[in-house]
Amino acid sequence: MPQYTPPVRDTRFVLDHVVKLNNYTNLPSFAAATPDTVDAVLEEGGRFVAEVLFPLNQSGDQEGCTRHPDGTVTTPKGFKDAYAKFVESGWGTLSAPEAFGGQDMPHVVATAFQEFMVSSNMAFAMYPGLAHGAISALRVKGSPEQQQTYLPKLVSGEWLGTMNLTEPQCGTDLGLIKTKAEPQADGSYSITGTKIFISAGEHDLTENIIHLVLAKTPGAPDSSKGISLFVVPKILINADGSLGERNAVSCGSIEHKMGIHGNATCVMNYDGAKGWLVGEEMKGLAAMFIMMNAARLGVGLQGLAVGETAYQNAVQYAGDRRQGRALTGPAEPAEKADVLFVHPDVRRMLMHAKAWTEGLRALCLWGGLQVDLEDHAETEEERQAASDLIGLLTPVIKGVGTDKGYEIATNAQQVYGGHGYIQEWGMEQYVRDARIAMIYEGTNGVQAMDLVGRKLAMNGGRAVQAFFAMVAGECAAAKGDAATADFAGRLEKALGEMQAATMWFMGNIANPNNIGAGAVPYMHLTGLVAVGLMWLRMAKAAAELKAAGEGDAAFLDAKLVTARFFAERMLPEAGSLRRQIEGGADAVMALPPEMFRAA
Amino acid sequence: MPQYTPPVRDTRFVLDHVVKLNNYTNLPSFAAATPDTVDAVLEEGGRFVAEVLFPLNQSGDQEGCTRHPDGTVTTPKGFKDAYAKFVESGWGTLSAPEAFGGQDMPHVVATAFQEFMVSSNMAFAMYPGLAHGAISALRVKGSPEQQQTYLPKLVSGEWLGTMNLTEPQCGTDLGLIKTKAEPQADGSYSITGTKIFISAGEHDLTENIIHLVLAKTPGAPDSSKGISLFVVPKILINADGSLGERNAVSCGSIEHKMGIHGNATCVMNYDGAKGWLVGEEMKGLAAMFIMMNAARLGVGLQGLAVGETAYQNAVQYAGDRRQGRALTGPAEPAEKADVLFVHPDVRRMLMHAKAWTEGLRALCLWGGLQVDLEDHAETEEERQAASDLIGLLTPVIKGVGTDKGYEIATNAQQVYGGHGYIQEWGMEQYVRDARIAMIYEGTNGVQAMDLVGRKLAMNGGRAVQAFFAMVAGECAAAKGDAATADFAGRLEKALGEMQAATMWFMGNIANPNNIGAGAVPYMHLTGLVAVGLMWLRMAKAAAELKAAGEGDAAFLDAKLVTARFFAERMLPEAGSLRRQIEGGADAVMALPPEMFRAA
């Protein structure tokens, strides 16, 4: 039986010593995030998801969703009930504004809870997760009337929401959208078209579903510049706020997928559905990016979160399963065999998982803080700095977080040997679930192009220069301290590789394919440095606490050992990545397409 | 609809220019492998599997196998009929000895066919694949009577066979086996116990199934030294060769797995089943290793084979799907978007797949040749050399072949974006199928330990020294030629990293955990050098043919470009792997197990 324990201690450590929550008590929201409140969120919220959502994770995968002939969709057994409890508990409203019924906590605290929720049940967590995107877009771009109509019930969870971008002929390239929006005399639009891969497009969890839909108005340019955003409720809302008629939007079918079976992935048919413009006409892409950037951070977190659960189970199995003997001689001679923990290669996989999940947790929470600071820091300079950093690192958190999540899940499955391949043990589900996160909200290749094609050069490279300065400064400072000097030296070397790769891009941009061919290696190089910085901060904090005789010594020692593992085992890849980038586009692009064919 | 075309042209190129079949016409079997015969095997055999087996691959995955209440198991629709055609066609008997009804072709030719068969339908190919292991063991260790009883019908395919090793409490650690074999008055043994994960343990393809079973005789030591091998037919065979009574072996259940759904993975219950000792008592492990080594090469080939099919489909999609524009400006301005092929990151994934599938194909076929030479080369020295090399590289072919196969399948799925996650498109099946190959026949971690813990040091390091000399010699020779000098220099550098890592192991063996902690990186380092050597040979042959004005220039150019890609993009990892190895075991092994737990 798979198991899951929310990593409260590690999250607390990151919030205290990497994010340093108590440095921000001057800011709105943060004042309410007292240590006691945060503890309650982590402890109680963690308990809720582990007790209510995790038990439905494997059964939800096995049962999946069902579409009925009338177009209704039922979620797996237990989901509806669990969702009602989730709404009642209020855990979904942590960071929403009080004006719309939220608890107005910092985004970073909600991020911590979100990890636990996804770890418990990724397919379930996607239902409220998609609504968060809709909330973000309406908060920023919705009219006051739209906000009043939709936000309170979306925030409370009484309604859920979706993002409708993809169509059969277009995913990444939204300029190809065909869905049409015809203006009506009453100021609404008539929406017609087919959207595919719509997560949570139809289900039985809520009475209403608020769809945010990209479509083109008559005469709009045939490119991404012609896209507008519309809000299209499943059930129309009467003037008094009560539910009215069924709108002309329906679920045509649900997809049979590799994983996340508990979440309904729908083909949505819009047949003259009534919708309302959100924001300005033909500015839909910008509005969508508001949802998208939040969603990308959330997807990066999914990688870590699924990896964490897979890792925890591998740890459990490594302690239970006896097979073979330690290379150094029997560890438990009285037993017929030693536990898997004695085998260095099993340890290597577990340490890899530990180093990446803890490092990515720190990066995701640090990223959550930047989202808060971007909105709420006291000075424009601080807000700008946070905005630059999170803009730069959003594609890295998404791309590296999900690539590593899949790798961790695959390794965790490997620890189980043959049992990992059998559904009953639950490990193969984590691999199947983790896989989608590398694809949706922009494939990881698209993330890498966002990083090198857009973010690097923005404002004359201001963001990446600030990132370099931050890492270099912390390395320089840490090199003076014996406890962190070795780590800082190795991180500085990896930073040097990243800087060299950046320079190489600048010198070779005449052929833009050089940028494209190096994009994914560069994203991973940036991920190594960014997660490396988080490990430097964790190692520094651990060393300082230890020196001060504070904290749990075993926990702090583990942090220092894991930082060392990251330095010795992960950072060396930086040099290889740089050399791959410097290979450039020639060999990548040289072959005519027919030379890829077998015959 | 997924598609598959046997890569006949590339296989022919490898057989002619890397394996150099025509150098061995002096050897038994090889004389019969004339170019015309080999062409017929590749063309006709390839056509057979593509037309008969591939159409059942996706439907077989979706339907899976069914165990009925009476313990019988039916394979997916079409499998039984296809198997009858397979037996009739004789494609399964290519390399079996004429004495038992085989065609006595070289193993390397059968290996080429085997790749096509697995590419077409891995779950199907496993049925005859498992029988091959049984054939190997009986050929080497079976008594003349056993050989006469079982081999003709196993070779013809009239019967199939299995390998029964794993039990609930033991997989890797076969010393823990509990299945008992009690000697009977008639010279047979009564076998009692439970075996799990038995591929093709029960099915409807053949009338009889010949199980090879590891068990312990009374009083045998409680370790792997106490294991004996038995042959246990599902249906007992009468003295006249006709089928007699049902034996007391039955399928208790079949597993629900992540993939290879078309192959029945069985729990086999032996309830006093009649069996006969194969070879000597308590020498079962050695006998099993005969099956195992052949099987490991076959599993390495599975990685490549599934990767190949996934890659071919990604190539097809990259040419069909239009999305976005080339970074260098619209490639086809008249179309609304360019095909995926224009995007460097898509190319990067396709070139990665091309470089590894073609490189692994060469390595697997070269490995097949070593198996032939080990048995049939004219001098003891040549036989020994081949045996050393294939012994050293068997775990590398298995471990690297399957890790790369999974990576290729994952990347190919990624090329499809969201469509890759949907069952209908067929790509996610390749990932699920490829995943098992990293686990069974010894996990890849076990392969790596076989390499560094056994093979490296055998006979004073004779095998690895011979490998070093071979690679160094070919690099030195190729550096004199402008067409291959750059590649040879880069491969020489990777070889240097491997030699340094080998030296590091020797200097740090006092703590054997240092070996275990570096085993998997070392296996991949060896894989880079071994596949690199294959690319050097392919590049050299391509350059020579081009200079001579022979062959298809576009095909030869593609070989040279792909070699360059391998050198620029893959070989740089060697340095990172070496540094990971040199990290040693300290950080890997330092933590007490409880520090891996979340709470």
pLDDT tens digits, A139-167: 999 999 999 999 999 999 999 999 999 99
pLDDT of residue A32: 86
Return the CATH class of domain B287-443: mainly alpha
Question: Measured between CB atoms, does A77 come within 8 Å of chain B?
Answer: no
Cβ separation B327–A354 shorter than 8 A: no
The reply to whether A450 touches chain B by the CB within 8 Å rule is: no
pLDDT digits (tens, 9 = 90+) for B245-267: 999 999 999 999 999 999 999 99
DSSP one-letter string for B415-473: HTGGGGGBGGGSHHHHHHHHHHHTTSSS-HHHHHHIIIIIITTHHHHHHHHHHHHHHHH
- Which has the closest alpha carbon to B528: B410, B371, B363? B363
The total of other beta-carbon atoms located within 10 Å of residue A245's CB is 10
Question: CB-based contacts of A497: which residues, under 8 Å, 6+ apart?
Answer: A525, A574, A575, A577, A578
Mean pLDDT across B557-570 = 98
State the SS3 of B126-143. HHHHHHHHHHHHHHHHCC
The three-point CA angle B28-B397-B436 to 5° equals 120
Question: Nearest chain A Cα to B424, which residue?
Answer: A256
Q: What is the mean pLDDT of residues B367-378?
A: 96
Question: What average pLDDT does range A497-516 have in this prediction?
Answer: 97
Looking at the predicted structure, is the pLDDT value of residue B290 above 90? no
Please tell me if residue B173 touches chain A, with a CB cutoff of 8 Å: yes
Q: Are B511 and A328 in contact (CB under 8 A)?
A: yes
Measure CB to CB from residue A328 to each of B315, B512, B554 and give the nearest one. B512
Pick A414's closest partner by Cβ from B337, B418, B438: B438
Q: From CA A560, how far away is CA B592, in angstroms rounded?
A: 13
Q: Residue B422's closest CA among A439, A363, A382? A: A439
**Residue to test with chain B: of A335, A347, A560, most B Cβ within 10 A:** A347
The mean pLDDT value for A203-228 works out to 96
- Comparing CB atoms, the residue among B323, B344, B516 nearest residue A513 is B344
Distance CA B132, CA B290 (A): 11
Secondary structure class of A590 (helix, strand, coil): coil
pLDDT in tens, B416-466: 999 999 999 999 999 999 999 999 999 999 999 999 999 999 999 999 999
Could you tell me if A505 lies within 8 Å of chain B, comparing CB atoms? no
Q: CA nearest B540: which of B572, B568, B563?
A: B563
Of the residues A5, A341, A403, A576, the best mutation for testing chain B's interface (the one with the most B CB atoms within 10 Å of its CB) is A576
Whether B598 sits inside 8 A of A319 (CB atoms) is no
CB contact (8 A) between residue A590 and residue B520: no
pLDDT higher than 80, residue B598: no
Neighboring chain B residues of A579 at a CB cutoff of 8 Å: 568, 572
Q: What is the mean pLDDT of chain B?
A: 96
pLDDT exceeds 70 at position A599: no
Distance CA B131, CA A234 (A): 57
At A285, the pLDDT band (50, 70, 90 cuts) reads: confident
**DSSP letter, residue B509:** T
Chain B residue closest in CA terms to A444: B414
* Record: contact A172-B585, CB cut-off 8 A: no
Mean pLDDT, all residues of chain A? 96
pLDDT at B263: 98
Q: Do β-strands B66-67 and A235-237 pair in parallel, antiparallel, or remain unpaired? A: unpaired
Q: What is the mean pLDDT of residues A190-216?
A: 98
How far apart are alpha carbons A254 and A475 in whole angstroms? 50
Instruction: Give yes or no for residue B582 having a pLDDT over 70.
Output: yes
For chain A positions 552-581, those within 8 Å of chain B (CB to CB) are 554-555, 557-558, 561-562, 564-565, 568-569, 572-573, 575-576, 579-580
Cα–Cα distance for residue pair A343/B513, rounded to 1 Å: 8
ipTM above 0.95, yes or no: yes
At A475, the pLDDT band (50, 70, 90 cuts) reads very high
On the question of pLDDT at B286 being above 90, the answer is: no
Place of tokens 């890569």: B7
For A244-270, how does the pLDDT look when each residue is reduced to its tens digit (9 = 90+)?
A: 999 999 999 999 999 999 999 999 999
Residue A514 CA to its chain's centroid (Å): 28
What are the tens digits of pLDDT across the range B35-59? 999 999 999 999 999 999 999 999 9
For an interface test with B, the pick among A58, A487, A511, A589 (most B C-beta atoms closer than 10 Å) comes out as: A589
Q: Is B594 exposed, middle or buried (0-12, 13-18, 19+ CB in 10 A)?
A: exposed
Look at the block and give the residue holding tokens 């690679």: B471
In chain B, which among 364-393 make CB contacts under 8 A with chain A?
Answer: none
Size of interface A-B (CB pairs under 8 A): 304
Q: What is the pLDDT of residue B599?
A: 66
Contact assignment for B345 to A519 by CB distance below 8 Å: yes
Mean pLDDT within A385-410: 98
* Predicted confidence (pLDDT) per residue in A517-573, tens digit: 999 999 999 999 999 999 999 999 999 999 999 999 999 999 999 999 999 999 999
- Tell me what the mean pLDDT of segment B536-565 comes to: 97
Q: What is the mean pLDDT of residues B100-125?
A: 97
Angle between helices A107-120 and A284-320 (to 10 degrees): 50
pLDDT tens per residue across span B146-200:
999 999 999 999 999 999 999 999 988 999 999 999 999 999 999 999 999 999 9
* pLDDT tens track for A72-90: 999 999 999 999 999 999 9
Give the residue-averaged pLDDT of B296-312. 97
Which residue in the block uniquely carries the two structure tokens 């190539």? B315
Amino acid identity at B223: S
